[in-house]
Amino acid sequence: MSTINQTTSVSETSNWKALFKGGNGIKATALALGVMLHATNIYLATTVMPSIIQDIGGLAYYAWNTTLFVVASIIGSVVSANRLAVLGPRRAYQFAIILFFLGSLLCTCASSMYILLVGRFIQGLGGGLLFALSYAMVRIVFGKILWSRAMALISGMWGIAAFSGPFIGGLFAENNQWRWAFGTLLLICIVIFTISTLILPLQRSKKNPPIIPYFKLTLLVSAALSVSIGSIFESIVINILGVGIALLFLYILIVAEKKSTVRLLPTGAYNLSSPLGATYAVMTLLTIGTSIEIFVPYFAQVISGYSPLQSGYLTVLIAFGWTFSSLLFSGIKTSSIAKIIRLGTILMLVGLVGLTWLAGTNNNPSTLFLFLNGLFLFLVGVGIGLGWPHLLTNVFAMAPEGEEELTSTSVTTVQLMATAFGASLAGLVSNMGGINEPGGIIGAQSASLLLYGVFSIAPLLGITILLKKKQINSIL
């Protein structure tokens, strides 16, 4: 999904030829393919979801496919360090691939939405492990001089996935063969498993494995699922109750974090008045703002009559905008960073307000409508991409003493957490908007109007935080 982008520096003392020289090439390929598998699956699943709904039903659980996948990815990411230490690089990577294979197999054979959701959860566990292990093993299988090149290669897989995911998903969906889209992933799993078996080292870490924070993970998962469970019901009271229970779980999590030495996030992360906490809040709000993308294919196909392939590539405009602006503005002068972050947040707001306006016009599909729809989606991605590298750099710079490693890994945790809650809230708002009842074109139009309008609040709150004089001076 567009909610996962990485920024890497390029070492001047190494070159791409060295990365692919000798046995390095096959190692780099194995790690890169792991991330590409995870990323391709995200875009592929988003593209084929409308076709799945037409075949096996389960529209009320549309957003659950993303929520469960991302929640499971968080679990996989958090436990990855423990699995790497206990199993060693090769077996840990194989374990992740096997999980992903089993999840994809369930998705391929799913006869109901419930089976598909189980498959998506298992996929998420394997994908989260693959994603985290691929980055972690760069330090193990390569010399330090090649780290930046290997990181850049792995990060670049998201760009490839933005093309391959919608292409594979759209190609099979247009031929009423969405199951084969997941079946393609099974073949990729076999290839990666074979390569990793041949080239990844077996040795395990001699240090004590990191402790897995089971209780906190349970609280986090429960919070995300509370919103999703509440969204199934038509009653607004139950919808609100689900959100309230989620907030309660998050409060317990924050209290537990403050009293524990084994933390998910560094000191100060939960305090909005602290520079680190304010930075995390802006990152969270911007990530939530991009969560509208999971419903874009459905709206495009039901309201505008676009094909699965067309709607798939319409969806990844957010990812393209994110990547484009991140690369273009990552090297700006320090004095301009604050303005760039504020500008990005404003552009995201413009994009979401523009989508809200389009949803309210109920226009028939036209060239102008398609252009404006694509432009506003692109602006949403550009908005988060403009400031994202600088927000990450700011987090690293503010790492509390002794918590530098935790702070580095917390970026992925925060982004995945925000993505999970964003998906849950998107499902809640869309169901409240009528996507399931009355459903059809009328329900989709009403749901799109409410979804884009409500999610415009996210960048608006981000702007509010950034414009507070004390906050902005502390953050930037």
CATH of the domain at 441: 1.20.1250.20
The answer, yes or no, to whether residue 9 has pLDDT greater than 50, is no
Indicate the number of domains in the chain: 3
Average of pLDDT values for 155-182? 86
Residues 310 and 400 in one domain: yes
Average of pLDDT values for 104-126? 95
Residues 14 and 26 in one domain: yes
DSSP state of 368: H
Which pLDDT score is estimated for 282? 94
- Identify the CA nearest to 474 among candidates 387, 404, 410, 394: 394
Residues 268 and 257 in one domain: no
* Residues whose CB is less than 8 angstroms from the CB of residue 317 and which lie 6 or more positions away in sequence, other chains included: 374, 377, 378, 381
CB environment 428-439: b (16+ within 10 A), e (fewer): bbbbbbbbbeee
The answer, yes or no, to whether residue 63 has pLDDT greater than 50, is yes
Neighbour tally for 259: CB within 10 Å = 6
Residues 83 and 200 in one domain: yes
Residues 235 and 334 in one domain: no
Rg of the Cα trace of the chain? 21
Which pLDDT score is estimated for 405? 64
Residues 174 and 120 in one domain: yes
Asked if the peptide bond before residue 438 counts as cis, ω within 30 degrees of 0, the response is yes
Average of pLDDT values for 103-116? 96
Of all residues in the chain, the percent with pLDDT exceeding 70 is: 92
Across 39-48, 222-231, 351-360, 447-456, least confident range: 222-231
Neighbour tally for 160: CB within 10 Å = 14
Residues 114 and 157 in one domain: yes
The answer, yes or no, to whether residue 400 has pLDDT greater than 60, is yes
The answer, yes or no, to whether residue 379 has pLDDT greater than 90, is yes
The answer, yes or no, to whether residue 139 has pLDDT greater than 70, is yes
The answer, yes or no, to whether residue 397 has pLDDT greater than 90, is no
Contact 174, 307 (CB under 8 A): yes
The string of pLDDT tens digits covering residues 219-248 is: 988 988 888 888 888 788 888 898 899 999
- Identify the CA nearest to 82 among candidates 70, 71, 96, 102: 96
396 compared with 248, residue with greater pLDDT: 248
In degrees, to the nearest 5, what angle opens at C-alpha 303 toward C-alphas 297 and 309? Answer: 35
Q: What does the block give as tokens for 25?
A: 């090439």
Residues 150 and 232 in one domain: no
Residues 237 and 271 in one domain: no
Domain end (from 162, 179, 207): 207
Which pLDDT score is estimated for 357? 95
pTM exceeds cut of 0.95: no
- Domain range for 379 is 263-476
Contact 388, 5 (CB under 8 A): yes
Residues 279 and 425 in one domain: yes
Which pLDDT score is estimated for 217? 86
- Identify the CA nearest to 420 among candidates 84, 77, 176, 71: 71
Residues 285 and 225 in one domain: no
Residues 176 and 219 in one domain: no
